[in-house]
Structure formats: structure tokens, C-alpha cells
Structure 1
Amino acid sequence: MFKGLGDMDLSKMMEAAQNMQSKMTEMQDGLSRLSVTGESGGGLVKATASAKGELTGLDIAPSIFKAEDKEVVEDLILAAIKDAQRRAQDKAAEEMARLTSELGLPADMKMPF
């Protein structure tokens, strides 16, 4: 028995660690499948990303395609992408909090990703 581990034996610790690793892998896979959409300009530009932050789509309302509005359109696109990335981070944090809760770990525990 290791000092400081109380009555918990090594096989139970290893089983718990493997269970946590399995659940973390499942969560990472799930984040790839979850989708979030960020928007700007009141919905004129929408960016879609996975919850891991990978941009997967961009939707631009045709009404904003005017040559004199080029800079505005570029700003709206950038704002929508940033909004999607922020929402992806929020979703990933939400999923991590759910996982740590299920595993009985402290809510503020930092995982290696």
C-alpha cells in the first residue's frame, strides 16, 4: 500500500484512472460532433464551428454584398468567427464540468487539454 492513499488499493485506482481516461476520450469525440453557431450583424453573418473550435461553415446573407461595404462585411465575418470560437470554448468547458461532476472530481480541476 502507498502511504497517504488510505484504504484504496492500487487495482481500484487503476480502474478509476482507466474509467476517467475512457470518459475523457468519449468527451473529446463528442466535442468534435457538437456544433455551435456564432453570428454578427444581427444574423447577417453566421459562422459554425465544432465545440473543439474548428470552423465548419460560414453563412452570409446576400443583402450585404455591396462593393462599398467590403470592410463592414470583413468585420462581420471576423466577429462571427470569434463568436463561434467563444461559444465552442464555452461548450467545451460545459462538457468538462459535466464530466468532472460525473466522475466526482472537483469542479475546478484542470484536465490535460
Structure 2
Amino acid sequence: MPDMNEILAMAQKAQEDLANAQNELEKIEVEGEAGGGLVKVRATAKGRIVRVEIDESLMKPEEKAMVEDLVTAAFNDAKAKADVAAAEEMKKATSGFPLPPGMKMPF
């Protein structure tokens, strides 16, 4: 069983790893899409939107409602992928820190 100094050192390392992981989340990018790729949204794993692409075939006034729906769907797809990427990055950062069953980081 680790002594108190080992536990404190492990906690310090976990804190540093979490900070590094948070910084990395801004570098990881995901792409959400809708309408078979007619609308694409690029976002960081932190959820910052980097770019939106809309296929020119949708640039007609009568397509306005559909474009709005596709942009919304692409944003939601990008957000879901960003959440997965963030969870994976945070899992890497906390994998070496022993936690009691059911306890998750960050606290």
C-alpha cells in the first residue's frame, strides 16, 4: 500500500496530466457531417467550432429550411464526436492514477 508521500506525488502527477490533457483537447479536431456530407462542421475536442462547409448545391432560397436542419445536425454530430475525443483524452490522462471503484476524475 502506498504511503502518504507516494499518494501526494501520484495526485500531483494526475493533476499535471489532467492539465496537459485539457491543453491537448484544443489541438484535437473532429468533423461532424449531415446530409451525406453536404454540410460539415469541424470542431475541437473542447467544442470550439473551427469551420463550417456547406455544399453549393444547397445554396438555393427554397433549400433554406433543409440547410438549417443539416447545419444543426452537423453541429450535433461534431459535438458528439468532440465529447468522445475529449473522454478518450481524459481517460489517457487518468489511466495511471488508482481510483476507488465508481470514482471519476476530474472531481
**Same fold, TM-score > 0.5, yes or no:** yes
1:19 and 2:13 matched: yes
CA contact (8 A) 1:100 1:106 kept: no
1:89 and 2:60 matched: no
**Separation (CA, whole Å) in 1 of partners of 2:100 and 2:94:** 7
1:69 and 2:60 matched: no
When Rg is computed on C-alpha atoms for both structures, the one with the higher figure is 1
Identity over aligned pairs, percent: 44
Secondary structure of 2:43's counterpart equals strand
**Separation (CA, whole Å) in 2 of partners of 1:72 and 1:60:** 12
2:37 is matched with: 43
Larger mean Cα displacement after TM superposition, 97-106 or 48-57 = 97-106
RMSD of Structure 2 on Structure 1 (CA): 1.9
Q: CA deviation at 1:105?
A: 4.5
**Separation (CA, whole Å) in 1 of partners of 2:58 and 2:80:** 24
What's the TM-score, normalizing by structure 2? 0.89
**Structure 1 unaligned spans of 5+:** 1-6
Equivalent in 41, 46, 52 of residue 52 of structure 1: 46
1:4 is matched with: none
The number of equivalent residue pairs is 107
**Separation (CA, whole Å) in 1 of partners of 2:100 and 2:34:** 36
1:3 is matched with: none
**Separation (CA, whole Å) in 2 of partners of 1:11 and 1:96:** 24
2:4 is matched with: 10
**Structure 2 unaligned spans of 5+:** none
CA deviation map 1:20-73 (0-9, x unaligned): 000000100001110000000100100011101111111111111000010000
CA contact (8 A) 1:37 1:46 kept: yes
**Separation (CA, whole Å) in 2 of partners of 1:89 and 1:95:** 10
Q: CA deviation at 1:102?
A: 3.4
